[in-house]
Structure 1
């Protein structure tokens, strides 16, 4: 078996599906980190590198490049009813199944355009039915391929500024129609979803800045091993292959994030370092929605990311997921509290979630609580804790929550209407109720600084 086909520790030897390595990163220009990593992996003769170039979106086309064994093939694909995601899945997923059937292909590398999220691609591999491939029974591509690893390349000179900014992708010319993500949401999400990191340009930054970046990465994704390379250092095939082998057993490898799992994954450092610190906030009483809305301003300055489960007094049945990155905020749904479920529904809940809920069960409110983790790099942790504490209901309001929920439900609730930060009251629309990674179909807002 060739080096590229070696199986990670948490993949059994009986799994003969072709591994896919997904490479993501902010910088998709030639010579950027995505290209460097993909080129290094593609040096193996049994590896195919696939890339979709979205620079032709203005012309309504996507360019696909397939490179294998020194041969490069380029094809042009028209947008499927104007949707980039549909176009990529309609082309990429059948291609993966076709490549996996070839004896000469032992690994596939997907070099993603910077605006394409690895999580969406991995979900498509796992869930979208591929039909019409000759000699293959219709079904998800995951029957033929498995996500072997997700690698994210970042530039030490620019990543932290991008991850704490508030620029929208459409302002940078990266996004397609109706895409309201920020560069910070993309940057933070790419690192959070990664199994391993390749950091380039590390020798071109001040030692303190490098240390601060390392402190952020080790708290944002503590399980991900990192390869640090200088601005003029070649990312060698051996270095990247060794990085893949360092990915620990139990890493995500494309799996969806569970919003009810512990927020501090992978035992991150809890002590402050270079001004970087993880701030935990927990409470057994709900937030007042109006006051929480006002308090959220504290998450936009000096904060890399915040995430967690929120209990709103006005929405006692719903787990609200909050996730911020730089100046971008996403609010969505994460299902219902166990206390709001029927006995039959609770029987279907994952045992781990049920066990954790049992440890904190309250006779009045069940498993309802607030649990947030905030990663700061220049913000004052005490100020964040104080702002969130003041947004909780007071004793009199808590009695109403318990005894007069119908009255509480009539309180003004900014999270029950679409809003931006700062609010634009003349543009109301329904609340978001996304699932998955903290509501990836949920409300997204950007702070105007």
Structure 2
């Protein structure tokens, strides 16, 4: 929604072939009284309808910008994004900007450009984040077999990783190619989207045909929540706040070094009873045996759509971030546990983070994982997680495993 003269921006994302270009053409054809500017990453991959181009059947670029017959413009991202959008605001007259992020990139960094303190944020106001899904491919990406790899980048993460990242920050998700799906498949896709992003509006489309008012001027983006939208973060917060969903029967006691340690609460949450999607949170202040935890992740059932969080791995000073999306699981060393730092540095970090939960013996070391899915056996998963923890005898043993132990190092725990 335009405020104080700022230009509204709709950001489109979606994998290659999902229908973003078809959607762009649809929006241009049905712009009505709006004058649109469309910024795309690679004009070579875009086929703007010839009838919308001012002259001829081919898109003729003038410094990367083409005037379209309906008064709109379409431009190629030849410069960096910040330079391009500032130039557009200065040199062109339009009512609404549509930015198409690359099919192999995530929309969140684009949104941050428009919301952080910068010359761009002063000119534009993010309106809505839209993800276009090739619904059959979306379902296939979580089937566990034959998941296609993302192409055109050195990062060869599977498609399921990218789809999750695009959906998790969306305000609107188009379940495109709905005509190629059964009603049951469309319900399944809706459930998956709802698990990843509970607030997203899902719209079933054929050939990306959607009412432009649902994407332009909808005013659905909230900059204060850009980092708090995903379903896995909701589940963590719910486990903290809604004690009525805790499964306190699993609060077993474990002894180590003569002391008694209680498990932290294990939260259980129902994001949406209508869709049958549930989540649970597993928290422990006992490290995982690296090999047994890796085996647990490799055997994670297909019913788990998303797993996310931080794991404490035995004999490893790094906070290891776990990110699972469908069949793909990656582990990244985010940085050292504060408790593992020299005393002076540790005290400095703690003084700057007064809300940091701190255990007298283990400091900030703990596991905090969220699991989201449908029709999974929560009891079996909890039991398997407990079995993956170190025993008292293993606690201080020298243990090796597949998890990274250098900051920013990244490993694939399970490939599709």
TM-score by length of 2: 0.72
Unpaired runs of at least 5, structure 1: 8-12, 58-62, 77-87, 129-138, 401-407, 417-430, 435-440
**Bigger Rg, which one:** 2
User: 1:211 & 1:125 partners in 2: Cα distance?
Assistant: 34
Task: Name 1:94's counterpart in structure 2.
Answer: 83
| Deviation at residue 322 of structure 1 after TM alignment | 0.6
Unpaired runs of at least 5, structure 2: 47-60, 243-268
| Deviation at residue 321 of structure 1 after TM alignment | 0.8
| Deviation at residue 412 of structure 1 after TM alignment | 0.9
Task: Name 2:138's counterpart in structure 1.
Answer: 159
* Residues 270 and 262 of structure 1, relative CA distance in 2, 3 Å threshold: closer
Deviations 1:214-246, CA, capped at 9 Å, x for gaps: 22222211122x14234378312223346x234
Which of the numbers 96, 108, 112 marks the counterpart of 2:101?
Answer: 112
User: 1:93 & 1:233 partners in 2: Cα distance?
Assistant: 28
Task: Name 2:14's counterpart in structure 1.
Answer: 25
Find out whether 1:344 has 2:348 as its counterpart: yes
User: 1:144 & 1:384 partners in 2: Cα distance?
Assistant: 49
Task: Name 2:252's counterpart in structure 1.
Answer: none
* Correspondences of 1:412-423 after superposition (within 5 Å): 412-416=400-404
* Residues 238 and 17 of structure 1, relative CA distance in 2, 3 Å threshold: closer
Check conservation: 1:168, 1:180, Cα contact below 8 A: no
* Residues 238 and 54 of structure 1, relative CA distance in 2, 3 Å threshold: closer
Which of the numbers 2, 9, 17 marks the counterpart of 1:6?
Answer: 2
How many residues align? The count is 366
Task: Name 1:149's counterpart in structure 2.
Answer: 128
| Deviation at residue 292 of structure 1 after TM alignment | 1.0
User: 1:336 & 1:126 partners in 2: Cα distance?
Assistant: 30
Find out whether 1:333 has 2:333 as its counterpart: yes
* Residues 315 and 145 of structure 1, relative CA distance in 2, 3 Å threshold: farther
Task: Name 1:447's counterpart in structure 2.
Answer: 415
* Correspondences of 1:83-232 after superposition (within 5 Å): 90-102=79-91, 104-123=93-112, 141-165=120-144, 167=146, 170=149, 175-202=151-178, 205-224=181-200, 226-231=201-206
| Deviation at residue 209 of structure 1 after TM alignment | 3.0
Deviations 1:152-208, CA, capped at 9 Å, x for gaps: 1224444222244465655xxx62252311111111111012133233345664333
* Residues 165 and 265 of structure 1, relative CA distance in 2, 3 Å threshold: farther
Which of the numbers 181, 191, 211 marks the counterpart of 1:236?
Answer: 211
| Deviation at residue 23 of structure 1 after TM alignment | 0.5
Task: Name 1:290's counterpart in structure 2.
Answer: 291
Task: Name 1:383's counterpart in structure 2.
Answer: 380
Query: CA RMSD for the aligned pairs?
Result: 3.9
Check conservation: 1:40, 1:240, Cα contact below 8 A: no
